[in-house]
Structure 1
Amino acid sequence: MLVVAAVCPSPPLLVPEVATGAAPELDAARAACADAVGLLAASRPDRLYVVGPAEEGGVYPAGAVGSFAGFGVDLSVQLGEGPRPTDRPLPTPLPTPLAVAAWLLARAAWADAPIEGRAVDAAATPDVCAGLGRELAGSAERVALLVMGDGSACRTVKAPGYLDERAAGFDAEAARALGTADTTALLALDAGLAAELKAAGRAPWQVLAGAAEGAGLDGRLLFEDAPYGVGYFVAAWS
């Protein structure tokens, strides 16, 4: 059963070494992420799943490694503190959203429960996402989720997706749903519109919605902004 969840944005700029001189611009987001991740540990879960978007789905065991070399930084991260698995080949490197999550967990010195990464196909339907969430929630008595993903990338003319007048409304509804743990509203987010707005968080948020069905969790929105024309949200559900 899902007992706690943290929702964080997934830009590599959250990592100060990647952001370099622009690092202070996301200090408030980092602080909110730290608070949300701290709530996960405080709940003493039996298992933590890290969920983030990718071009295709995949499972990443504890010990999987990610790198920020593609952003010009010689920095690697490991998912969890346990030993890397030796009984099977390591998966491909962590997708960037999961690498950012691994950095957040390392910053919080996470060592409380078994951990596994789940990459979600960004094109997965709401039903598929919700089904995965139910599967994860049913895997242990006390399950925690760290859910990575961004809102629209079309809030300004300098945004990655340029300006789209629909972006502000989409992000406002996503922020409201994340801040109130409204699973129905999250599942109602339109996958087609999300793709047009480059909202990479849509699929992971709908995994969270499926996991939280019937769990009776309350939500709090800890951070909301769009500093680079991309919607960034931090929320905590407990």
Structure 2
Amino acid sequence: MLVAAAVCPCPPLLVPDVAAGAAPELDPLRAACADALGVLAAARPDLLVVVGPAGLAGRGPHPEGATGDFREFGVDLGVRLGRDLGSTAERPLAPSLAVGAWLLADAGWDGAPVEALGVGEPLETARCVAEGRALAARADRVALLVMGDGSACRTLKAPGYLDERAAGFDAAAARALAAADPDALMALDETLAYELKAAGRAPWQLLAGAAQGARPVGRLLYDDAPYGVGYLVAAWS
């Protein structure tokens, strides 16, 4: 059963070594993520699963001890998912999951075992919901760290250029996360999300599936669009 969730964006710039001189610009976002992770720790789960968007190579489950790095972003920095179990995972963590692993390490996570699940951005809503239900059934007390960005089309300089629909899409997602409303998350349009480059849509809808029947309480901790990308942080408990 789902007992807690933290929703965080997944730009590699969250990692100060990657952001370099621009790191202070995202300090408020990092602080909000740290607060959300505090909710996970307080819930004392039996299992924590990091969920995030992934390309073909990074999709599917990753065991505790899996590793990733930020070399493709020009930084020789590696991360590990949870504890070092002395085994080498076959596949590296997708960038979104590597950011999640960094957040956990930065927070000093020493609680439940940690696994990860890379989710394909085009995964349809029904399958996201089904995956979420399956995750929630993995243990008596399951927590999720859900990584994913909103639209990438909020300004002219955004990665996806300006799209007038982007602000409305992000606002709907923010309302759903603030209210811990699974139905509202499931109602997010997957085609529109794809057009707006909103990589968080599938992970958010997986969270919606995991939360069905749990009646969580939500708090929105951050809602802004630096660099023209919608970043949302929320905590469900």
If the TM-score is normalised by the length of the shorter chain, which range does it land in?
over 0.9
Aligned residues: 235
The aligned residue for residue 205 of structure 2 is 206
The aligned residue for residue 10 of structure 2 is 10
TM superposition shift of 1:91:
2.8
5 Å-filtered alignment, 1:4-83, equals 4-56=4-56, 57-83=59-85
1:120 aligns with 2:122: no
CA distance in 2, matches of 1:179, 1:55: 28
5 Å-filtered alignment, 1:188-227, equals 188-227=187-226
CA distance in 2, matches of 1:185, 1:54: 23
TM-score if structure 1 supplies the norm length? 0.97
TM superposition shift of 1:72:
0.6
TM superposition shift of 1:82:
3.3
Tell me if structure 2 keeps the 8 A contact 1:64–1:84. Answer: no
- Residue by residue over 1:60-83, the C-alpha shift from the partner in whole angstroms, topping out at 9 and shown as x without a partner, is 101111100111101000000231
Paired amino acid for 1:34: A
5 Å-filtered alignment, 1:70-109, equals 70-85=72-87, 90-109=89-108
Paired amino acid for 2:23: A
The aligned residue for residue 228 of structure 1 is 227
CA-atom RMSD in angstroms? 0.8
Paired amino acid for 2:5: A
Once the two structures are aligned, what percentage of the paired residues are identical? 68
CA distance in 2, matches of 1:58, 1:143: 18
CA distance in 1, matches of 2:9, 2:44: 23
Structure 2, unpaired ranges of 5+: none
CA distance in 2, matches of 1:220, 1:12: 24
Determine helix, strand or coil for the equivalent of 1:228: helix
Determine helix, strand or coil for the equivalent of 1:99: helix
Structure 1, unpaired ranges of 5+: none
CA distance in 2, matches of 1:91, 1:134: 26
CA distance in 2, matches of 1:61, 1:116: 5
TM-score if structure 2 supplies the norm length? 0.98
TM superposition shift of 1:223:
0.5
Paired amino acid for 2:75: V
Tell me if structure 2 keeps the 8 A contact 1:7–1:234. Answer: yes
Paired amino acid for 2:12: P
CA distance in 1, matches of 2:127, 2:4: 21
CA distance in 2, matches of 1:28, 1:211: 28
- Residue by residue over 1:64-114, the C-alpha shift from the partner in whole angstroms, topping out at 9 and shown as x without a partner, is 11100111101000000231436xxx2321100000000000011112111
